[in-house]
Structure 1
Amino acid sequence: MSKRSEQTLQVGVVGLGAMGMGTATALLQKGLSVTGCDISANARDTFVAAGGSSVATPAELAHCHIVLVVVVNGAQVEQVLFGKQGVVSHLASGSLIMQCATVAPSQAKQLGERLGAEGLMMLDAPISGGAAKAKSGELSVMASGTPEAFSCAQTVLDAMAANVYRLGDEPGIGSSMKLVNQLLAGVHIATAAEAMALGIRMGLDPEVIYKVITHSAGNSWMFENRVPHILSGDYTPLSAVDIFVKDLNIVHQTGRELALATPVAASALQQFTAASGAGFGREDDSAVIKVYQRLSGITLPEAANDALGG
């Protein structure tokens, strides 16, 4: 038995946003020793209240065997790993980085090469399922990496995911699959918003639209999940508009690298970009419907407190 296997597994989670907090909490609930890291003191305090421990910088995760990176974009991943307070230079050889953010496949491949040169393993492991499934430990993980990386990550994967897809032996493949998912997710949200806007503009009751479509062929997971946010007038960000500005831009850029046109994704990207430009970037991604409100003057459902004048 190796010295590592004799030790209590120490897991770090960098990024205690909706997905990161849920994942870190799920790991705690499965009995793992978890240290959360976030620039937000409030997020750190929330995680400590849940039973975990916390640090303010990735460099302070030197004791961890596995570090999950659950941040917003590729620039943040770079900073977490290789920045001035980055974790890479502090980890013991043979430690594992689970890169869970949505990044370009080309970046994921490069990260794998750079981490390997530092004596570290990497699992390219983007996640999907939303905050609720993160908290319940029922995410889908689209992963690629060496058999050794998968073996090292097994306990963590068992605790955080309902579905783990082993897609290949090299970083970049997992991120490629996540990009397919994000293309569909972004298009479905934008289309759901457009469909709701059309129905409202024609005078249909939004609640009735939802009831009928969720029992008809036009339904999608995103329609069923996001339209209730519109019906309640609650755009508290579970996944923000700007996330899809970022992700659909990665789709567009990757398509250019491959000389593959992605016109439907490009159209959805324009809608999310318009929503962000109108000031809705940090609202829930269902707020993309507000673009149609601005353009056509449709009346959207209001939050209960707004309707009451609160």
Structure 2
Amino acid sequence: MASNGSRSVALIGLGSMGLGMAKSLLGAGHAVSGYDVTPAALTALSRLGGRWGSSPADAATGADIVVVVVVNAAQTETVLFGESGIAAVMPKGTVIISCATMAPDAARGLAQRCGAHGVLYLDAPMSGGAVRAGTGELTFMASGTPEAFAAARPALDAMASKVYELGDEAGIGASFKIINQLLAGVHIAAACEAITFASKLGLDIDKVYEVITASAGNSWMFENRVPHILDGDYAPKSAVNIFTKDLGIVSDIGRAETFPMPMAASALQLFLATAAAGMGRDDDASPARLIAQITGIALPATKEH
């Protein structure tokens, strides 16, 4: 454990979110180690002042708290229990903060397996984007035992402006995140449809953005994503493939519950079509480019990235 009230925190997954979280943790005085499959991410962590490990287990060795910021449940399972997995090297009573969006059943299963190792598990998906990750202003939708919350609190306080304590068992946080992702995906799809439709009508889409963001039709996603379209900047702050995954989870749960989800289904198909057109790794505002291609309208030129 680090001294002076700080903690030793490992971050597994150093994409734009993970690196931002590392910056916030270092700024709060915690000792930070990390691991990512991308060498450039490890270099970036070193530049921030963190230490990188040669594997998840190497990065997690000696850590009080391990934050797992990977894409999905399968990657989380590999990080925890695969070759060089972290669960085997974490002392009893240390805590894993699991941030990937996943089905509630998957979160419950991972928590049970961690418990068998004596390791605490906090189901803690987050929202806020890379910018807020770097300023310590994320929102966490978390659930787990009181012991898990207590152990994770020093890291959560450094990374978040809001931590919702939603229940005492894993899976509840995952369920809340699924509702968020349903809305986020639908709102991005609607924003892309609206701004391209405005172009089709011959409107100045910069002026459309100004007017709509001051009107009742605005949404957080319209306000946040449409500037990417106006700038022609599709470098991935959040990628199309994130929503093919997350809305796919929404769809799977809805089908299992015999619950109709026409809005989520339409948004999922738009993201899938965008990915099929070769834009899966691009920014999640890219459905606007697909609509523009189909309808023959002009959007601002796409910047190289």
User: What is the TM-score of this pair, normalised by structure 2?
Assistant: 0.96
Give the counterpart letter for 2:218 in structure 1. N
Q: In structure 1, the residue corresponding to 2:14 is in which secondary structure?
A: coil
Q: Distance in 1 between matches of 2:92 and 2:4?
A: 16
What is the match of residue 151 of structure 1? 150
Q: Distance in 1 between matches of 2:109 and 2:84?
A: 20
What is the match of residue 229 of structure 1? 228
What is the match of residue 267 of structure 1? 266
Q: Distance in 2 between matches of 1:279 and 1:41?
A: 25
CA offset at residue 99 of structure 1?
0.3
Q: Distance in 1 between matches of 2:20 and 2:70?
A: 13
What is the match of residue 49 of structure 2? 51
Give the counterpart letter for 1:14 in structure 2. I
CA offset at residue 138 of structure 1?
0.2
Q: Distance in 1 between matches of 2:252 and 2:202?
A: 39
CA offset at residue 295 of structure 1?
1.3
Query: Contact 2:234–2:303 at 8 Å: present in 1 too?
Result: no
Give the counterpart letter for 1:52 in structure 2. G
Q: Distance in 1 between matches of 2:40 and 2:132?
A: 22
CA offsets, 1:241-299, max 9 Å, x none?
Answer: 00000000010011122221111001000000000000000000001112211211111
Does residue 287 in structure 1 map to residue 252 in structure 2? no
Query: Contact 2:279–2:286 at 8 Å: present in 1 too?
Result: yes
What is the match of residue 86 of structure 2? 87
Give the counterpart letter for 1:163 in structure 2. K
Give the counterpart letter for 1:197 in structure 2. T
Question: What is the correspondence of 1:1-310 to structure 2 with a 5 Å cutoff?
Answer: 9-60=7-58, 61-303=60-302
Q: In structure 2, the residue corresponding to 1:156 is in which secondary structure?
A: helix
Query: Contact 2:35–2:56 at 8 Å: present in 1 too?
Result: yes
Query: Contact 1:67–1:96 at 8 Å: present in 2 too?
Result: yes
Query: Contact 1:39–1:56 at 8 Å: present in 2 too?
Result: no
Change (3 A) 1:165 1:305: closer
Q: How many residues align?
A: 304
Give the counterpart letter for 1:178 in structure 2. K
Change (3 A) 1:204 1:8: closer
Give the counterpart letter for 2:165 in structure 1. R
Give the counterpart letter for 2:128 in structure 1. G
Q: Distance in 2 between matches of 1:299 and 1:188?
A: 22
Q: Distance in 2 between matches of 1:194 and 1:8?
A: 47
Q: Distance in 1 between matches of 2:110 and 2:170?
A: 8
Q: Distance in 1 between matches of 2:301 and 2:5?
A: 53
Q: Distance in 2 between matches of 1:231 and 1:56?
A: 41
Change (3 A) 1:116 1:166: same
Q: Distance in 1 between matches of 2:229 and 2:235?
A: 11
Across the aligned residues of Structure 1 and Structure 2, the Cα RMSD in angstroms comes to 1.6
Can you give the 5+ residue segments of structure 2 that lack an aligned partner in the other structure? none
Query: Contact 2:6–2:154 at 8 Å: present in 1 too?
Result: no
Identity of aligned residues (%): 52
Q: Distance in 1 between matches of 2:292 and 2:180?
A: 27
CA offsets, 1:133-167, max 9 Å, x none?
Answer: 00000000000000111111111111000000000
CA offset at residue 56 of structure 1?
2.7
Q: In structure 2, the residue corresponding to 1:285 is in which secondary structure?
A: coil
Q: Distance in 2 between matches of 1:118 and 1:179?
A: 28
Give the counterpart letter for 1:72 in structure 2. V
Query: Contact 2:198–2:208 at 8 Å: present in 1 too?
Result: yes
Q: Distance in 2 between matches of 1:26 and 1:285?
A: 25
CA offset at residue 194 of structure 1?
0.3
Q: Distance in 1 between matches of 2:111 and 2:303?
A: 48
CA offset at residue 192 of structure 1?
0.1
Q: Distance in 2 between matches of 1:172 and 1:4?
A: 31
Q: Distance in 2 between matches of 1:7 and 1:232?
A: 44
